[in-house]
A and B are shown apart, each in its own frame.
Chain A
Amino acid sequence: MSWPLLIEQTFNGVQFGLVLFLLAVGVTLVFGVMNTVNLAHGSLLMVGGYLLAEAQLRTGSWVLAVLLGLTGAGLVGYLVELVVVRRLYAKNHLEQVLATFGLLLCFNEAVVWLWGREPVLVTLPPLLRGHIQLLPDVPYPTYRLAVSVIALCVAVSLWFLIARTRIGMLIRAGAERRELVEALGVNIGFLYAVVFSLGAVLAGLAGILLGPLLTVQPGMGDPLLILALAVVIVGGAGSIGGTFVASLGLGIADTFARTILPLALGGGAGRSLAAMAVYLLMALTLIFKPTGIFGRTGGPE
């Protein structure tokens, strides 16, 4: 592989990983803090994508559409927590999986009902169309670079929020010792609602960022959620740092596996192995470090 291609693929891998992080961080927080599995998290990504498309169509403004998309995704997340997920905290994981899977189906059908089955159009602001030269021989799509920069900024802000603010301290405490936080008199219901809505906003942001790249259509977030679950397992459930490292690691691993393996092993075998690469890494993590690379050892389950 030539140097320009290597550099370009590294950028691709990092970009993919960063978007994965935005989705996975919500899953890991909800699992870590509330000990709840949420399969409908990908639906919140879809909500972000659709709200962006609809707001773009109606307002014609990109900034406004992004703001509406984020607010909408957060609001939908808040309502979902209030109406459904709140009732699941005390249930076991199987019941949570069933209930949130049902929620996912409801979301997909609701989108079909509102927008139809055909994909909807999301356009790019003129500034972000086309590509720029990273190095003389490495052209790179401007939009993908912007996605990486935005996702990285969000990751840093999130770190600040979690590590340096009071609400972040409560979230960390909740992830470590939920019962103790409750015993200390913190309004745990409010904390849960905040965590879930925060996850929803980040998923919505992932949907907004991916809208112009992928296809805004019913169920668009579901395949990504499977990858996000792999990220959570590798990174260690509840660990934001672990999720960040695992997202980047799996994003880069997936990109390079797709590039190198078909060349090295020939068509069919290489392609099959490349498609499995992420899950192989997940299986290896489960064998050698079942709690994930940054996972606690004494946490819940």
Chain B
Amino acid sequence: MQRNLMVAVLAAAAMAAGASSAQTLKLGFMAPMSGPSASAGQEMKRGLDAALEKFNNRIGGLETRVVIADDKGLPDAAAQEIARLVERERIDVLSGLGLTNVMLAVTDPAVKADVIVLASHAGTGSYAGKDCHPNIFLTGFLNDIFGITMGTWLTKRGVKRLYIMGLDFQAGWDIYDSLQSTYKGQVVGKTLTPFTQVDFAAELAQVRAAKPDGLFAFYFGASGVAFPKQYAQSGLKDQVPLYSVMAMSNSMLITGQGDAGIGVISNSVWNAQVANASNKEFVARFRAKHGREPTSYSAMMYDSMLLLDAALRTRVDPANRAALRKALKTVKFPSIRGNVQFGPNQVLQQGMVFQQAVKDSKGQFMLKPLDTASAPIDKYAKDCKMK
């Protein structure tokens, strides 16, 4: 009797273990949770948490075990963490990835271990082109779509003389170069500044001297607060409109920018006002918890999880990578961005929103949509030789 009971218990335990291993999703999340880019990483985590809350901790209906990895914004820290995620935690899917240099460090080891990579924020062109891989999905955006659409839009808006300012690094260069490739007016000046610089008095004096009728600036983090403040104090705000991208105008930076951040026009791959059920639910859920609009960091992360959920719900076992890849690529998911789909290089093709930072009727910050632009041509796709 005793013996029979034991056998029964063991059998039940084995069944449960077998069942759970087949029904568990091991989801890696890597983002800069500490260090200089931590505010972006923490915000991405808020997007992940909102998705887990929505799905009751069961993405795709599967028991989901999330493994958090802090890349600190440093490629070497990221390389250590990816080894842990792949070898010890044996993750099925790697999500997050806030920074380009981190993505470059972790993608290769992840793909070698046949992990699926959903990059929700890093936007390197190489993975859309020559380094594309069936396991890599760019669910966020490519850096140059901001520049391409901004250049066209500023031309259309009648900005004749443009001054360009921004941070001196890869993602910035992608944006400035692509902007200059589609902008038809005259670029009267271009000043790039290092990350360590947070005082722009000398540069703003040059902007004034150049007498442009539009200023495009790309700053985020510390300089994303300092720059608009100094631009407003210099008196330029009354003379030259400021154009930027979503990284410089959002509900996180506005707390530091104050009124100096109001009026900035930026472009974005997503806006809280995009009218679809999925987005409404996300914005309401996020607002209830954090008391402000989400930002693109949390939104893109959340959207990646909607994609993963939809793919897994086609009754795919996450251990079967070929099936999961196929499902991710073809599934129709209720994106908060509306109608989006993967191109042949597994980059999400999407339109852009032009938006202005304003105060709503209650005096609260919001990004008011002004205009939209259709998805620009993905110049990298032709270099992608994916089977």
Contacts and interface: CB of A to CB of B under 8 A. Distances in A.
A105 B242 CA distance: 36
Interface string A1-20: 01011001100110110000
A131 B232 CA distance: 9
Given A215-B225, A271-B192, A118 B256 contact: yes
A139 interface: yes
A123 B190 contact: no
Given A5-B209, A8-B205, A216 B234 contact: no
A172 interface: no
Contact of B199 (A124, A214, A216): A214
B126 interface: no
A223 B192 contact: no
Interface in A228-284: 255-256, 258-259, 262, 267, 271, 275
B199 A259 contact: no
A267 B192 contact: yes
B87 to A, nearest CB: 30
B339 interface: no
A78 interface: no
Given A117-B39, A267-B190, A267-B192, A217 B201 contact: no
B229 A213 contact: yes
A15 B202 CA distance: 11
B77 interface: no
Interface in B189-219: 190-194, 196-199, 201-203, 205-206, 208-209
Contacts of A214: 198-199, 222, 225-226, 229
A212 B255 contact: no
B188 interface: no
Interface in B213-245: 221-226, 229-230, 233-235
B192 A143 contact: no
Contact of A121 (B194, B199, B201, B255): B255
The prevalent SS among residues of B at the interface is helix
A118 B233 contact: no
Nearest to A260: B202
B319 interface: no
B52 interface: no
Contacts of B208: 139
A5 B205 contact: yes
B109 interface: no
B233 A130 contact: yes
Contact of A118 (B194, B199, B255): B255
Interface string A209-229: 000111111011001000000
B252 interface: yes
B209 A2 contact: yes
A119 interface: yes
B152 interface: no
Contact of A213 (B199, B202, B205): B199
Contacts of A4: 209
Contacts of A256: 202
Contacts of A129: 233
A259 B253 CA distance: 28
A120 interface: yes
A130 B234 CA distance: 7
Given A214-B226, A223-B196, A120 B256 contact: yes
Contacts of B191: 262
Contact of A275 (B38, B194, B230): B194
Interface residues of A, number: 41
Interface in B64-98: none
Interface in A104-124: 117-121, 123-124
A219 B39 CA distance: 13
A23 B271 CA distance: 42
B255 A141 contact: no
B300 to A, nearest CB: 18
A62 B225 CA distance: 21
A16 B190 CA distance: 23
B263 to A, nearest CB: 15
A123 B258 contact: yes
B82 to A, nearest CB: 24
Contacts of A15: 201
B233 A131 contact: yes
A255 B222 contact: no
B383 interface: no
Interface in B285-311: none
B180 interface: no
A41 interface: no
B256 A259 contact: no
A144 interface: yes
A299 to B, nearest CB: 31
B42 interface: yes
Nearest to A53: B256
A188 B223 CA distance: 42
Interface string B257-291: 11000000000000000000000000000000000
Contact of A223 (B38, B198, B230): B198
30 contacts: A5-B206, A5-B209, A12-B201, A13-B202, A15-B201, A118-B252, A119-B255, A120-B256, A121-B256, A121-B257, A124-B233, A131-B234, A139-B208, A141-B230, A142-B233, A212-B229, A213-B199, A214-B198, A215-B198, A215-B222, A217-B256, A219-B36, A220-B222, A255-B201, A258-B203, A259-B203, A267-B190, A271-B193, A275-B194, A275-B196
Interface of B: 36, 38-39, 42, 168, 190-194, 196-199, 201-203, 205-206, 208-209, 221-226, 229-230, 233-235, 252-253, 255-258
Closest 9 CB pairs of A and B: A119-B256, A131-B235, A215-B225, A12-B201, A141-B233, A215-B222, A117-B39, A8-B205, A255-B202
Given A9-B202, A213-B230, A215-B223, 8 more contacts: A2-B209, A118-B39, A118-B256, A141-B230, A144-B233, A215-B225, A259-B203, A259-B206
